[in-house]
Structure 1
């Protein structure tokens, strides 16, 4: 080998080693960055027999897509569970201590106590107080359920804004990647950014992707609607100003196609948007309907002379039998006449029909009929998802059981989907993440390569010095 060839070889080794060292250093610096994919400095040979460095990413497309799917599923499940936990809190948390079923049982017990001592005005007052607690529990629960719907609607608006922002950023990064690769530039950093955006998009809406030969990526929603193809598609949503039992939330449109809501405790939702729609349009309305049915039955069972008696509502009528009266729960209250004179519950007279005509202190016929009615099978609207017949006591307990069963299913599924997400993230990290041990070992190898190149240059320098001294 000539001296000039040796010098050129050493220079090339220094150049390649420098590039490889820079890549290793970058890997080490990003070892804790979950969105960074390890860079590989691959050695190549050009047409003239020279060596060059080509940078590659340790990407695993199959594991990345699996991770994206897990992100969507886990995020959706967590958001549904959060909503169900909020709803559980409305009724007093784990023991449901402030639920209508709890107050209903207390009120029934008070009626029995009053029937045993119908002449005791203190017990009469206590019974009316328990009736007020029951009505208040139902009305405030209905308001809280509608607040949960309203909060979900606001969150949908926020997330739709975020999703549109991510899609706009994706368009910019995607164009940068295509342009860089077309001109032979390194697109690794832009590819990392694009992958990060895909993860953020997947948290909001379930997606699938197709990458074309020029590395241009197309994004589809979980139901096949195009979210991005060359240009970002618009996701639109109009929030509702207020929520009550008669208001239906507006749909979310992806490129003009309505986004489907999830179903079940182990939700079919992918991404938080579908879970929010499920919570707003399915779970919360079902609970609202169940509260309305309990309120409707109370008004019906305690009616007098064809009109509301002990329990009244804003409609002022006896609702249609076996049919949900939307919103009745929110306005349920105890008749003010009962507060003025608690004995009216024993005697009657809310609407001019007095049953205890002689004012007997031992009269219990009305009280007994109310107690019997509360234990008698009644007709309920099956749209409330609790069956068509039950006593009001059983129905109210079943409502809490329905919520708790749904919440437990969501909790178990959340544990499973979160564990699956952790596994896919770990598998992806093992394939594409940075291992400090590997990078440090590679750095030592590069150091030895550098030392060998330096030794070669040192040897060439000595030979040149000897040659020059000889010429002199």
Structure 2
């Protein structure tokens, strides 16, 4: 090997170790940066004319497991969907209470029945009559408050859904910009690792909001689609673009409504949780409450002399009209507060019944014990008012516990995959420090070669002189 070749090989080694040291330092600096992927320097032997010429730097390697990333994103997306839904159901369940809680509708209904039973034993007692009115008004307040809680949760989900859609659209616009930058840099042969890290972080964020599929082109650009195949991003998007839109309360992607069947068209992500809450869970809860309110109004209306006229409970002051929204409109007949004797004689009575007459009270009590038809999902089609109310509260609490259990299961799976992804693609500082020691040794060896070659050149020059 000539001295010139030795010098060239040593210099190439110094340049390579210099780049390696810079890259390892970059890895260590970003060890705690979310989404940062470890970079390695690709080197090989430089050969020219069949002879080794030192070390050649082939580029920066960013090695990731795309299948692991895909699975980690999907599980995280499923977890965020379930977490969002479980949180909303928990908020509603807190307002609803357990069947035995003082604040629950079922307890308020049971107390009204108890008040009528006590009144039957002391029909002429003014305080007992007033107690019935108080219990009736308490039941109405509980229905109103519970319905208001469901509406609040529903409206909150809709507001958060809009925020989530806006966040996805902003991220997709930026991903499109990174697509162009990566394709340009790749065409020039420049390093694109940090740009791809940023793009992957944004893709992680998008997948937490809505389930997505990714396709990578040869140019390095990614195509982003919903899990059912609706395209959200293909190359670059103009500023302010809205691949996802809320139109009249419906979520639209690629011109298709995807909120009608979220299990199939969205599948995962916070957006799915918000859609389920706003379009399925709270409407179902309100429908169940409305059915109970309709049963109460109709049962007590039927207990009066004229079942077509308003009874103890009314539809905003009138006789029963429609079930939808009734839990928010139900009211105690306005005449009973000033005429508590109606609790013994009936709301439609023109005058009090004879002292001790419990005929009408018995009819009121029959309203509680009579079996009637209900048309609410997941609840018995035939039951007494009390059984329906208890079943409704228990069922709603069951939705919550099931969602929370599913959330915990999803979290375990998501955390396991995220840890596997981090262990494979992330930065282990101890490993990087070991690399620095090896780089230091390599640098020192190359430097010694230069020193030796320098001494040899000095000797040659002395001989020539």
For residue 25 of structure 1, report the CA deviation from its aligned partner. 0.8
Q: Is the 8 A contact 1:300 1:308 kept in 2?
A: no
Using the size of structure 2 for normalisation, the TM-score is: 0.92
* Cα distance in 1, alignment partners of residues 381 and 284 from structure 2: 14
The equivalences for 1:47-86 within 5 A come to 48=48, 49-50=52-53, 51-53=55-57, 54-86=59-91
Residue 234 (str. 1) matches residue 243 (str. 2): yes
For residue 438 of structure 1, report the CA deviation from its aligned partner. 1.4
Give 5+ residue unaligned stretches, structure 1. 240-249
For residue 314 of structure 1, report the CA deviation from its aligned partner. 1.9
Per-residue CA distance 1:213-232 (angstroms, 9 max, x = gap): 22221111011111111244
The 3 A distance-change label for structure 1 pair 269 and 339 is farther
The equivalences for 1:151-190 within 5 A come to 151-190=156-195
Give the equivalent residue in structure 2 for 1:341.
339
Partner SS state of residue 98, structure 1:
coil
Give the equivalent residue in structure 2 for 1:328.
326
Candidates 333, 345, 365, aligned match of 1:371 = 365
Greater mean deviation of Cα atoms: 446-455 or 304-313: 304-313
Give the equivalent residue in structure 1 for 2:311.
309
Candidates 385, 398, 410, aligned match of 2:378 = 385
Give the equivalent residue in structure 1 for 2:428.
435
Candidates 281, 284, 300, aligned match of 2:282 = 284
The equivalences for 1:189-338 within 5 A come to 189-232=194-237, 234-238=243-247, 250-260=249-259, 269-303=267-301, 304=304, 305=306, 306-314=308-316, 316-319=318-321, 325-338=323-336
For residue 277 of structure 1, report the CA deviation from its aligned partner. 1.2
* Cα distance in 1, alignment partners of residues 332 and 349 from structure 2: 17
Give the equivalent residue in structure 2 for 1:244.
none
Give the equivalent residue in structure 2 for 1:455.
448
* Cα distance in 2, alignment partners of residues 123 and 263 from structure 1: 52
* Cα distance in 2, alignment partners of residues 399 and 81 from structure 1: 18
* Cα distance in 1, alignment partners of residues 411 and 97 from structure 2: 27
Q: Is the 8 A contact 1:261 1:278 kept in 2?
A: no
The 3 A distance-change label for structure 1 pair 262 and 399 is farther
Give the equivalent residue in structure 2 for 1:394.
387
Give the equivalent residue in structure 2 for 1:23.
23
* Cα distance in 1, alignment partners of residues 29 and 168 from structure 2: 30
Residue 351 (str. 1) matches residue 348 (str. 2): yes
The 3 A distance-change label for structure 1 pair 213 and 97 is farther
For residue 94 of structure 1, report the CA deviation from its aligned partner. 9.6
Q: Is the 8 A contact 2:226 2:266 kept in 1?
A: no
Partner SS state of residue 168, structure 1:
helix
RMSD after superposition: 2.1
Using the size of structure 1 for normalisation, the TM-score is: 0.91
The 3 A distance-change label for structure 1 pair 414 and 430 is same
The 3 A distance-change label for structure 1 pair 195 and 394 is same
Greater mean deviation of Cα atoms: 1-10 or 156-165: 1-10
* Cα distance in 1, alignment partners of residues 40 and 105 from structure 2: 63
Partner SS state of residue 214, structure 2:
strand
* Cα distance in 1, alignment partners of residues 464 and 100 from structure 2: 101
Per-residue CA distance 1:52-105 (angstroms, 9 max, x = gap): 222111211110000111121011000000110111122247965412111111
Residue 39 (str. 1) matches residue 39 (str. 2): yes
The equivalences for 1:139-154 within 5 A come to 139-154=144-159
* Cα distance in 1, alignment partners of residues 91 and 260 from structure 2: 19
* Cα distance in 2, alignment partners of residues 345 and 251 from structure 1: 47
Q: Is the 8 A contact 2:233 2:243 kept in 1?
A: no
* Cα distance in 2, alignment partners of residues 159 and 109 from structure 1: 48
Greater mean deviation of Cα atoms: 292-301 or 413-422: 292-301
* Cα distance in 2, alignment partners of residues 455 and 96 from structure 1: 82
Q: Is the 8 A contact 2:118 2:128 kept in 1?
A: yes
What is the count of residue pairs matched by the alignment?
451
Partner SS state of residue 219, structure 1:
strand
The 3 A distance-change label for structure 1 pair 269 and 261 is farther
Q: Is the 8 A contact 2:100 2:106 kept in 1?
A: no
The 3 A distance-change label for structure 1 pair 263 and 12 is closer
Give the equivalent residue in structure 1 for 2:3.
3
The 3 A distance-change label for structure 1 pair 385 and 174 is same
For residue 374 of structure 1, report the CA deviation from its aligned partner. 0.6
